[in-house]
Amino acid sequence: MGTLPRNRSISGGYDEEKLGFGNIFTDHMLTMQFSAEEGGWQDPEIRSLDNLVLHPATMVLHYGQQVFEGLKAFAGKDERDILVFRPDMNIARFNKSCERLCIPTLNPELFMEQMSLLIRTDRDWIPRTPGTSLYIRPTIIATDPFLGVRPSKKYLFFIILSPVGAYYPEGFEPVKIMVTDKYVRACPGGIGEAKTSGNYACSLLAAEEAHSLGFTQVLWLNAVDKASVEEVGTMNIFFRINDEIVTPALGGTILPGVTRDSVIRLARDIGLKVSERTISIQEVEEAAKIGSLQEMFGSGTAAVISPVSHFQYKGRNFVVGNGKTGEVAADLFDRITGMQTGSNPDPYGWVVNIGR
């Protein structure tokens, strides 16, 4: 089964300044089982992080019936504080993804209670260095050992925790992205708005090709005519064109990001014009050509805000703004991370303190 990458003991410590993303795990995990025959979800348990033992016919390994989430906990100013950003939205999205994948949903209060218990158990693992947090990965997998194609009757829900730094090696430095018209991520009626493994598996080849050409991420176009922009890599995408902040409207093919929603709300409240609408790649290209594309940035839980400095489309290369992090991206990054860590006020009630 291999050894667990449990490569840090709290006493031994690790260098918080050098934290990357997703390669260090805390001591405990939460598990809970679902069995239709035994009355639904039962036996939530916090136990030592350990390998899962799965029958080789376990359905998730064959048909990908799986859903996950990503959210973050932060150390607050008071050492008793543990701040979680908008967990209600992640839990609601988790259940929506479950419905799309024919997976039984979870009671949101039970989810929140068990997740909080786990985080409090491993609270000493929450890093305190600016730019770091405890990434929370709730996941459900279909566990029937069965090779026929149908929804599983048994599921395992688990949550693991990982102290993280920046998602991209670039940190908050701008990234270069490649617009692909060769591959698509999601199509109408598909699973694009669900947070499920298949969406990420299908993105890998395009991302690998982009990496080999020196780009950090892929910008996806819509599947039907590849004319309009959808999202970028593992994030939602925003443009600032002539002082209008534009992001593609949600229509079933785009992940409804929690950070996306926060960006829209914050940007509107600081007086910026924000439009959720169809935006064609032609409009983006034209704006870049005539100099009205002031900024482009991605938003996501893992990356928060990731400025884009360059993009390539059909072999043509464009610089965004002056090729540096834009002022709106920088401002939103500060506002969101300030709120998440408790150093900025939270007029929206987005931050939930689970620590005391």
Determine the Cα–Cα distance for residues 4 and 24; give it in Å rounded to an integer.
10
Q: Which is nearer to ligand COI, 22 or 251 (CB)?
A: 22
Residues in the chain, total: 356
CA distance 107 to 87: 13
Of 214, 310, 256, nearest to 86 by C-alpha is: 256
CB of 134 to ligand COI, least distance (A): 13
Q: Which residues bind ligand COI (CB under 6 A)?
A: 70, 234, 300-302
By beta-carbon proximity to ligand COI, the closer residue of 87 and 321 is: 87
Q: Which amino acid is at 166?
A: A
How far apart (Å, rounded) are the C-alpha atoms in residues 106 and 247?
Answer: 31
Q: How far is the CB of 302 from ligand COI (least distance, A)?
A: 3
Q: Is the four-CA dihedral 189, 314, 201, 25 of positive or negative sign?
A: negative
The minimum distance between CB 131 and ligand COI, in angstroms, equals 15
Q: Which is nearer to ligand COI, 97 or 180 (CB)?
A: 97
CB nearer ligand COI, residue 40 or residue 169: 169
Token output for 211: 């990496």
Minimum CB distance to ligand COI smaller for 143 or for 234: 234
Which position's Cβ is nearest ligand COI? Answer: 70
C-beta of 136 vs 245, nearer to ligand COI: 136
Half-sphere exposure for 183 (CA within 13 Å, toward CB): 19
CB of 247 to ligand COI, least distance (A): 16
| Residues facing residue 75 across a β-bridge | 82
Compute the least distance from the CB of residue 345 to ligand COI, in Å: 25
Whether the CB-CB separation of 106 and 68 falls below 8 Å is answered with no
Nearer to ligand COI, 202 or 227 (CB): 202
Question: Minimum distance between the CB of residue 51 and ligand COI, rounded to whole angstroms?
Answer: 21
Beta bridge partners of 25: none
Locate tokens 């939270």: which residue?
Answer: 346
Quote the least distance from Cβ 327 to ligand COI, whole Å. Answer: 23
**Tokens standing for residue 66:** 């799986």
Q: Which neighbouring-strand residues pair with 71?
A: 136
CA triple 100-90-102, angle to 5 deg:
15
